[in-house]
Chains A and B, each alone.
Chain A
Amino acid sequence: MAAAVAMAARGCGGVWRRARQRGAGQPGPGPGPFPRGQRAVACNARGGAVPAGKSGLVPWVPVVGLEIHAQISSNSKLFSGSQVQFAAPPNSLVSFFDASLPGTLPVLNRRCVEAAVMTGLALNCSINKKSLFDRKHYFYADLPAGYQITQQRVPIAVNGSLSYSLCIDNKMSQMVTKTVRIKQIQLEQDSGKSLHDDTRSQTLVDLNRAGVGLMEVVMEPDMCCGEEAAAAVRELQLILQTLGSSQAVMAEGQLRVDANVSVHHPGEPYGVRTEVKNINSIRFLAKAIDYEIQRQIEELENGGTILNETRAFDSKLGCTVPMRDKEGKQDYRFMPEPNLPPLILYDAKSLPANMNHQQVINIDWIHERLPDLPSVKRKKLVEQYGILPEHSFTLLNEDGLAEFFESVVKQTQMKPKKVIGWILKDLLSYLKQHSLTVKESPVSSFLLADLLNLLEKKEISSPAAKQVFMELWKGEGKTPLEIVKEQKLGLLQDQKELEQICQAVIDGQENEVMAIKAGNQKVLNKLIGLVQKKTEGRSNPVLVKQLLEKKLSE
């Protein structure tokens, strides 16, 4: 704790800062799906071994395991009836149980259990029909009871898997699918928030978040670099958002990730691991893991040892720093929660006949009502529209883009394969440039479909279409047709006029005509260029070429 305070004094200005330990951090920049920035470690996506550093000849194998806490999207908290809301006056959403006043007891929220079961089913876990609650004891100001109710012995879901894809190379052309095993999913309480006031040497505690339901997803250490971890977390985020069990926005602290990193030589046992906390966005996750792997490799190659410690990621410096002072290994003194009987879940076979419907959670009933997971949606898009898997990835990655794409395809005659180019290259790049979401796009799907129809009917040329698009982006409410008329971008439809211009060009360029008649076809392009200039770009190049060829062969 002293280290955390010192860290604050060193790096960050300002009197108030949020707790480093609980990771409710500042909003980070938007997550990219495949962070490709400066990677300190070249992770071989196939094997995972890193070529050795300066000295050694033996490669290092990094091992990364993740612990993810996802805040359950519900109206009230896990064990009490106070509201769950992000920003609210301090200590206004706190009940007597959350403040752990004596005489209060926990009452389990049905919605949280359903959310955990949905997530477990989506991650191919086996759901434990009987799960138990335990107490995990440790002292901290934002944990008023001195213990956290969690599920350590028998959690609600175990042994699942999460499949995610990532690009092998930087060009987004080759995708490989990987799987990480899920060890368990458990329900637990969140703690409150601490605001550190260093000038007055005190901590201000806000219990609004204390008691909110969390799903802890524990992954096995199957990953080998920051990029894999980032892709896995992104996929989990999409799954949670699709299910609706969590909104999983890292910037608001609804998704918190802790990474366990270690390195070892192939064939040898696992090395000592360190835990990296305080990661506020997916991009920082990749950076933090890569930095930590590099740091450990350098430390070991220089003959040092790795301490089993907790480190925090400093996003400004891009490095990890030690966090807790040497408390030694924490002993959480787990004990069964005496106030809660076991949680029993049922399926279609074991459903009790005479029980109150509201008290029964039927796993099969929930399973039937699961929405399409992202991987299924991607497959459907590829099958239905014939687009590439990489495209479907990008479509689902942006919130609302897939729906936009589908509505454009419905309203236009252009083939989906061509539409996707417009969506991904033009629309998306514009949105990114102006930092807008799909919902905020000034160009609606209707307008874009209109424009693409004009292009498809060959009423305008491709460069003209791009110009119209730029005009549409200004959001002045004009339709593509109006813009085309205004700026005279329409292709010349009058065949005769076109023929006249072609003839004029031919007549004016005698040398080139002779060269073409002699056999040099490349000069034809020059003639086409001249026609384009004369028509101010309003001629269809294909048509022009046909006309010129016809005339020259006469």
Chain B
Amino acid sequence: MAALGRVSRLLLGAAAPRSLPARGMAAAAAHEEGGARMWKTLTFLVALPGVAVCMLNCYLKAQHHHERPEFVPYSHLRIRTKQKVSVEVLDHLEQLALVDFRDSEGVERLQKAIQFADQLHEVNTDGVEPMDSVLEDRCLYLREDDVTEGNCTKELLENAREKVEEYFVAPPGNIPLPKLEERETFLQGSK
């Protein structure tokens, strides 16, 4: 409430820029009345006529018939087949890319992504070279065969959790994900 009062005083102060700034409280009270009148004038002379003009415009526009564009049943907007990703594929993906789909929402998101990308199948690409990057017309820069980097062993090893004599330490070989049956994943339930 107090903030509102402050704001209105600010607005009123801005609304009467030409009045002399050196005024007392009495002058301010007189101003409030002047401010309300200004807003009344604005409403009746600007706002309401503006609304009326817009209404007129809409009415006139609606008058001449719009041709509705012909309905084309685009196949990419009518894909009805929902790709269901099988559990084997999901398990295979989890093993390969080491992602965890966690719950049905994760899987659902994957399905939606596949569906979205499947729209590409609707386009006829016979005889068109596939593009793998918008940079395909750029020139591949060739570097001269000079030694310009290296010798930063300390910096590289700074982030390593474990190190032995300047070697990185890793587990003794790939630890594969256990098979589906042995893992605790929600995928087990859905078959």
Contact = CB atoms under 8 A, between A and B. Distances in A.
A206 interface: yes
Interface string B160-189: 000011111111111010000000000000
Contacts of B173: 1-2, 4-5, 141, 196, 203
A352 to B, nearest CB: 10
By secondary structure, the B interface counts as: loop
Nearest to B135: A341
B122 to A, nearest CB: 23
B98 interface: yes
A140 B174 contact: yes
Contacts of B125: none
B116 to A, nearest CB: 18
Interface string A76-94: 1000111100000111111
A506 interface: no
A75 to B, nearest CB: 5
A327 B136 CA distance: 36
Contact of A109 (B137, B145, B174): B145
B139 A94 contact: no
A91 B96 CA distance: 28
A343 B138 CA distance: 10
Nearest to A326: B176
Given A76-B145, A204-B168, 12 more contacts: A1-B173, A91-B166, A92-B151, A94-B156, A107-B141, A108-B143, A201-B172, A204-B164, A205-B169, A333-B96, A358-B142, A359-B142
Interface string B114-149: 000000000000000000110111111111111111
A1 B148 contact: no
B17 interface: no
Interface in A327-351: 327, 331, 333, 336, 338, 340-344
B172 to A, nearest CB: 5
A336 B132 contact: yes
B139 A341 contact: yes
Contacts of A61: none
A141 B172 CA distance: 9
A99 B156 contact: yes
Contacts of B146: 75-76, 81
Interface of B: 92, 96-98, 132-133, 135-153, 156-157, 164-174, 176
A308 to B, nearest CB: 18
16 contacts: A2-B173, A76-B145, A81-B148, A82-B149, A89-B166, A91-B167, A92-B153, A92-B166, A94-B153, A97-B149, A108-B140, A196-B172, A204-B170, A341-B135, A341-B138, A342-B136
Contacts of B145: 74-76, 109-112
Given A336-B132, A341-B135, A342-B140, A93 B172 contact: no
Contacts of A359: 139, 141-142
A194 interface: yes
B133 A202 contact: no
B94 to A, nearest CB: 13
Contact of B133 (A5, A89, A333, A338): A338
Q: Which 8 pairs, one residue from A and one from B, show the smallest C-beta to C-beta distance? A: A1-B173, A81-B148, A141-B170, A95-B149, A111-B145, A336-B132, A204-B167, A82-B150
A152 to B, nearest CB: 12
Nearest to A195: B167
Nearest to A335: B132
Interface of A: 1-2, 4-5, 74-76, 80-83, 89-97, 99, 107-113, 132, 137, 139-141, 194-198, 201-207, 327, 331, 333, 336, 338, 340-344, 358-359, 361
Contacts of A358: 142, 144
Contacts of A203: 169-173
Contacts of B170: 141, 194, 202-205
A91 B142 contact: no
B174 A343 contact: no
A356 to B, nearest CB: 9
Given A141-B171, A202-B172, A206-B167, A92 B150 contact: yes
Contacts of A112: 145
A112 B142 CA distance: 10
A107 B143 CA distance: 7
Nearest to B159: A101
